């Protein structure tokens, strides 16, 4: 294992993050505050409580998930796409580095960044609503797993993407709708029965539901289903990455 290389890639990626720290830090704080103003204060004042949780608090797990998922995908995909785009990928390919080490470096850095953003949102939320996290360990585990699995997913997109449009298209057309329709801002029990059934095909529902359970102890779907979903998604991403590694897909001719 070339640990120096993993460290070099990780540090290199984190330097970019710190170079844009204000942006990395301010944008989640600002958008979270806006969500609280719009959803929490304006709409929340008309919606009393959902499952005995105030609406303002209810949307916190969904908000964190929304940012963590989109940030993980965009950070990780950009991280590996950028060297391909500007040509510096030659260095990774000609260095004594295995594909696994490259994945650990890039995905680890992307997951760290989104974990940081998730925690920033959580802290910001504390200024707006009272939060009492019932299962803090499970909360952290869900958060870390989501950061990791979506960063893996982002890495795959970054390898696959042939241009900037392709880089944006999956987060824009798939991730964002799935998260918004996945119960970030509502309980799926509030939907008409037919939509409740359709929603169950949205994998993000299971992730948000599990994460919300760790906060409030209530969930849309059983907690083991959430665990299964996040594990299955992680396993799927790992399998695709293993396949990329075997075939050199879009990396090495």
- Closest CB 155 distance from other proteins, rounded Å: 17
CA–centroid distance for 68 within its chain? 3
What's the CA gap between 204 and 229, in Å, rounded?
9
Q: Does 87 sit near other proteins (CB under 8 A)?
A: yes
- Binding segment for other proteins (CB under 8 A), chosen from 58-66, 89-97, 137-145, 152-160, is 89-97
- Of 229, 238, 217, give the one whose Cα is nearest residue 148: 238
Of the candidate residues 23, 45, 88, 134, the single one contacting other proteins (CB under 8 A): 88
What six digits make up the tokens of 138? 């499970």
- Closest CB 87 distance from other proteins, rounded Å: 3
Q: Which of residues 125-144 bind other proteins (CB under 8 A)?
A: none
CA dihedral 128, 74, 66, 148 (to 10 degrees): -100
Binding track, positions 92-121, relative to other proteins; x by CB under 8 A: xxxxxxx-----------------------
Q: Does 4 sit near other proteins (CB under 8 A)?
A: yes
Total chain residues near other proteins (CB under 8 A): 29
In the bound state with other proteins, the residue whose beta carbon lies nearer, of 98 and 218, is: 98
DSSP per-residue string spanning 54-92 = EHHHHHHHHHHHHHHHHHHHHHHHHHHHHHHHHSTHHHH
Of the candidate residues 52, 137, 192, 253, the single one contacting other proteins (CB under 8 A): 253
Residues 6+ apart with CB under 8 A from 21: none
CA–centroid distance for 44 within its chain? 25
The SS3 call for residue 53 is strand
- Closest CB 12 distance from other proteins, rounded Å: 5
Q: Does 30 sit near other proteins (CB under 8 A)?
A: no
- Of 33, 229, 14, 28, give the one whose Cα is nearest residue 110: 14
- Binding segment for other proteins (CB under 8 A), chosen from 12-20, 53-61, 73-81, 159-167, is 12-20
What's the CA gap between 158 and 71, in Å, rounded?
13
Binding track, positions 44-83, relative to other proteins; x by CB under 8 A: --------------------------------------xx
Contact residues toward other proteins (CB under 8 A) are: 2-5, 7-9, 11-12, 15-16, 19, 82-83, 86-88, 90-98, 248, 252-253
């Amino acid at each position: 294992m070339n640990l120096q290389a993993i460290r070099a890639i990780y540090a290199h990626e984190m330097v970019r993050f710190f170079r844009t720290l204000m942006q990395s830090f301010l944008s989640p704080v600002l958008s979270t505050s806006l969500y609280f103003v719009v959803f929490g204060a304006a709409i929340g004042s008309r919606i009393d409580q959902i499952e005995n949780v105030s609406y303002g608090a209810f949307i916190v797990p969904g908000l964190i998930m929304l940012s963590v998922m989109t940030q993980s995908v965009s950070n990780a995909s950009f991280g590996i796409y950028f060297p391909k785009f500007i040509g510096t990928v030659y260095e990774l390919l000609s260095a004594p580095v295995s594909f696994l080490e490259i994945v650990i470096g890039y995905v680890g850095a992307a997951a760290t960044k989104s974990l940081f953003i998730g925690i920033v949102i959580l802290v910001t939320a504390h200024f707006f609503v009272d939060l009492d996290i019932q299962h803090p360990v499970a909360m952290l585990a869900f958060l870390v797993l989501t950061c990791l699995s979506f960063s893996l997913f982002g890495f795959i997109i970054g390898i696959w993407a042939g241009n900037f449009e392709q880089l944006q298209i999956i987060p824009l057309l798939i991730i964002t709708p799935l998260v918004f329709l996945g119960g970030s801002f509502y309980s799926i029990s509030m939907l008409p029965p037919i939509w409740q059934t359709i929603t169950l095909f949205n994998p993000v529902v299971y992730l948000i539901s599990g994460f919300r359970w760790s906060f409030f102890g209530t969930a849309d779907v059983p907690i083991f289903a959430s665990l299964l979903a996040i594990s299955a998604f992680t396993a799927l991403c790992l399998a695709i990455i293993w396949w990329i590694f075997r075939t050199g897909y879009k990396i090495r001719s």
